[in-house]
Amino acid sequence: MGEQDFSTFTNFTDSSDWSKRIGSAISEIRSKCRSATTEKSDLLLYAFDATKRTHLPDCVVFPEGAEEVSAVMKICSKYKIPVTPRGAGTGFAGGAVPISGGVVLVFTKMNRILNLNRESLFVEVEPGIVNAELGALLAKEGLFYPPDPASLKSSTIGGNVSTGAGGPSAVKYGVTADYVMGLTAILPNGDIIETGIKTEKGVVGYNLTKLLVGSEGTLGVITKIRLKVVPIPEKVFTSAVFFPGRREATDAAILILQKGIRPRTLEYIDKTALNCVTEFTGLVLPSRGETMLLIETDGKEENAKREMDDVEKICLSSGAVKFDLASTKIEAEKLWEIRRSISPSLRKLSPTKINEDITVPRNRIADLMERLDRLSEKSGIPIVNFGHAGDGNIHVNVMTDQNKKDEYRLALEIVDEIFDITLELDGTISGEHGVGVAKKPYIAKELGRGTIEISKALKKAFDPDNILNPGKIFP
């Protein structure tokens, strides 16, 4: 997909004075910021995200602090230039694609830990720090930041906050929004605001922190983040459990949680995904092993082991045909390799995947899989599924080839049907990726007119000139 795909979006460059305005803005930005570029080769690097949608910005700025971000926003507000904040570009919704051109803010130079409070258990960081790097630094202090999106080795905390990212550990520990205590953000007019608290609780005024988390860079540019951290678990146990069918696997997952066990991870790998992995890695599945749960328990060793023993009993009584418990970290990594091999294995199936992150109630996962099977059989287009059984968040991959126009058009129609099925099953069309541009055409399926209109009014209150990540989320 390329620039021609965005003909329906607000086009700031249509006005006859665009060249003059953008030229003046870039000139002033260069006088305020040490790192700004308009080189075509640099612009290309920040023109796309994981969706492969592409649109060139006019300028890329690498701010080194909140004051520089504020200066850029004041200049862009003055000249009515669109601004797109960007993390690592790992998102699957097009949120970081500068579809209106203008300025992209890249936070690779703002990647420090600013403060670690060991007594009150919080850390303050800049938005450009990578999730896994923060985790490694905290581990040296015996601390743990739980949100762990699949992209944690490359995605930034700022991007995680902007999209409200989740991950496998969400079933026990929650998602990014559960850990953000406060933010420093720059408004479109350049004003700097501080939100949130440093205490365990507080209810003074509107909760602007929660509003900014998941707002996809449309309300403010985040320059500092205060995050809760927890003591690192003493022990982690990892198991892979194979079931003869989906119902048995999802019934086991539900029963585990009903019994009061809260696993660290409770991952679901459907037979559609297992088939791809076996071809890709040579994995030999146990007889009748069509669906897999990847389960971890953690905490004090004795407690975590007792929980895993209870998990094993529940799984076997639910019809599991094989229960593999890792006895070493190496064995645990081998079990995780099954999960991590899914995405690369899909490349053998089709060159293009449309990756959706729908979420349904846990007890509707098997129903969802059966509906997707019928949809795939009817259309002839493969649909591969895996995700988080603990919270019902399933990654649905519609496998196609965007170079085959008729097939790709059919794949997009299938996505539309998938969203209809999801909502019929009391679900939501996005559990953790956000809306961006990819899901923007569909949000009216889920949100009522009143909800959309009041959301637009909030956007206008923050950003009256619509310069901050314009064209995202709302149609």
Residue finishing a domain among 194, 211, 231: 231
Residue finishing a domain among 184, 205, 231: 231
Answer yes or no: is 468 within a domain. Answer: no
Whole-model pTM? 0.93
Q: Report how many domains make up the chain.
A: 4
For residues 104 and 119, membership in a common domain is answered with no
% of residues, the chain, pLDDT over 70: 97
Count, in order, helices (H) and strands (E) of the chain. Answer: 16, 18
Q: What is the pLDDT of residue 280?
A: 83
Give the Cα separation of 36 and 32 in Å (integer): 10
For residues 126 and 225, membership in a common domain is answered with yes
Residue finishing a domain among 317, 343, 369: 343
Residue 425: give its domain's CATH number: 3.30.70.2740
DSSP string, 337-363: HHHHTHHHHGGGT-SEEEEEB-B--GG
Answer yes or no: is 362 within a domain. Answer: yes
pLDDT tens column, 397-425: 999 999 999 999 999 999 999 999 999 99
Binned at pLDDT 50, 70 and 90, residue 5 comes out as very low
Q: Is the pLDDT of residue 35 over 90?
A: yes
Q: What is the pLDDT of residue 312?
A: 98
Residue 135: give its domain's CATH number: 3.30.465.10
368: alpha, beta or left? (left if phi > 0; alpha if psi -120 to 50): alpha
For residues 325 and 374, membership in a common domain is answered with no
User: Mean of the per-residue pLDDT values for the chain?
Assistant: 94
Q: What is the pLDDT of residue 14?
A: 66
Q: Is the pLDDT of residue 7 over 70?
A: no
For residues 11 and 60, membership in a common domain is answered with yes
Q: What is the pLDDT of residue 10?
A: 54
Binned at pLDDT 50, 70 and 90, residue 292 comes out as very high
Answer yes or no: is 443 within a domain. Answer: no
Amino acid making up residue 184 = T
For residues 307 and 379, membership in a common domain is answered with no
**Mean pLDDT on 257-273:** 96
Q: What is the pLDDT of residue 16?
A: 77
> Cβ neighbours of residue 474 under 8 Å, at least 6 residues apart?
440, 443, 452, 455, 456, 459
**Mean pLDDT on 303-328:** 97
* Structural domain containing residue 64: 3-108+458-462
Q: Is the pLDDT of residue 3 over 50?
A: no
Give the Cα separation of 446 and 430 in Å (integer): 10
Give the Cα separation of 88 and 91 in Å (integer): 8
Q: What is the pLDDT of residue 279?
A: 84
> Cβ neighbours of residue 111 under 8 Å, at least 6 residues apart?
126, 128, 129, 130, 133, 156
Using the 8-state DSSP alphabet, how is residue 468 labeled? B
Judged by average pLDDT, the poorest of 146-150, 245-249, 284-288, 429-433 is: 284-288
Answer yes or no: is 28 within a domain. Answer: yes
pLDDT tens column, 179-224: 999 999 999 999 999 999 999 999 999 999 999 999 999 999 999 9
Give the Cα separation of 7 and 30 in Å (integer): 30
For residues 117 and 216, membership in a common domain is answered with yes
Answer yes or no: is 296 within a domain. Answer: yes
Residue 270: give its domain's CATH number: 3.30.70.2190
For residues 337 and 242, membership in a common domain is answered with yes
Q: Which residues of 371-392 are buried (b: 16+ CB within 10 A; e: fewer)?
A: bbbebbeebebbbbbbbbbbbb
Q: Is the pLDDT of residue 430 over 90?
A: yes
Q: What is the pLDDT of residue 11?
A: 63
For residues 129 and 225, membership in a common domain is answered with yes
Answer yes or no: is 451 within a domain. Answer: no
Strands, E, within 4-119: which ranges? 36-37, 59-61, 83-86, 103-106, 113-117
For residues 361 and 430, membership in a common domain is answered with yes
Tokens representing residue 413 in the block: 């129609």
For residues 8 and 70, membership in a common domain is answered with yes
For residues 93 and 201, membership in a common domain is answered with no
Terminal C-alpha separation, the chain? 19
For residues 258 and 288, membership in a common domain is answered with yes
> Cβ neighbours of residue 211 under 8 Å, at least 6 residues apart?
219, 458
Query: Token pair 């989320």 is at which residue?
Result: 473
Q: Which of 265, 295, 305, 299 is nearest to 172 (CA)?
A: 265
Q: What is the pLDDT of residue 287?
A: 85
Give the Cα separation of 351 and 451 in Å (integer): 37
Answer yes or no: is 55 within a domain. Answer: yes
Answer yes or no: is 204 within a domain. Answer: yes
Give the Cα separation of 394 and 77 in Å (integer): 40
The residues facing 238 across adjacent strands are 296
Amino acid making up residue 361 = P
Q: Is the pLDDT of residue 119 over 90?
A: yes
